[in-house]
Homo-oligomer: A and B are copies of this chain.
Amino acid sequence: MMQNMPVNDLKSVLEQKGIYPSYHRIKILKYLIEHRTHPSVDMIYKDLAKEIPTLSKTTIYNTLKLFVKKGLTISIDFEGETRYDIFIEPHAHFKCVKCGRIYDLPLRTDLCQNVELNGHSPLSYQIVIKGICKHCLEAEGENAS
């Protein structure tokens, strides 16, 4: 998980996107890079508040909205909760209905080649697959034997 990207690199990632690299924004970007678990605002808040006791959720909402707007992050809607991901190349998401984990899945061909667009012009897409993840399937197998 840990990628130990130097703070100066994080700063330049933000600056290249036209985002002022404040202390909080660097921390949130660092969190997204080090926790590739598609965290919600609440998850980020609970973890970062340990380091930054004065942190507010509003700041995280503001920051992620800015990151999405600037194309640094994507947002994914799961039943009533928004999750965030810095991996912006096209891919699908798999959500395990047992453990709740979310995985990235590569696409063999771009989605738009697989859909009949009927004249509509796509800008972005999101694919969410629900099911039982490999991890839980293996756990089931162990219990059965």
**Interface residues, chain A, with chain B CB atoms under 8 Å away:** 77-80, 82, 92, 94, 96-97, 103, 105-109, 111-134, 137
Prevailing SS type, chain A contact patch? strand
The docked-state distance in angstroms from the alpha carbon of A106 to that of B117 is 8
The docked-state distance in angstroms from the alpha carbon of A113 to that of B125 is 18
Q: Please name 22 pairs of A and B residues whose Cβ atoms are closer than 8 Å in the assembled complex, sorted by A.
A: A77-B77, A92-B111, A92-B115, A94-B120, A105-B117, A105-B120, A106-B116, A108-B115, A109-B114, A111-B114, A111-B127, A111-B129, A114-B114, A119-B134, A120-B132, A120-B137, A121-B131, A121-B133, A122-B129, A122-B130, A124-B131, A125-B130
Which residue among A107, A119, A122, A129 has the maximum number of chain B CB atoms within 10 Å of its CB? Answer: A129
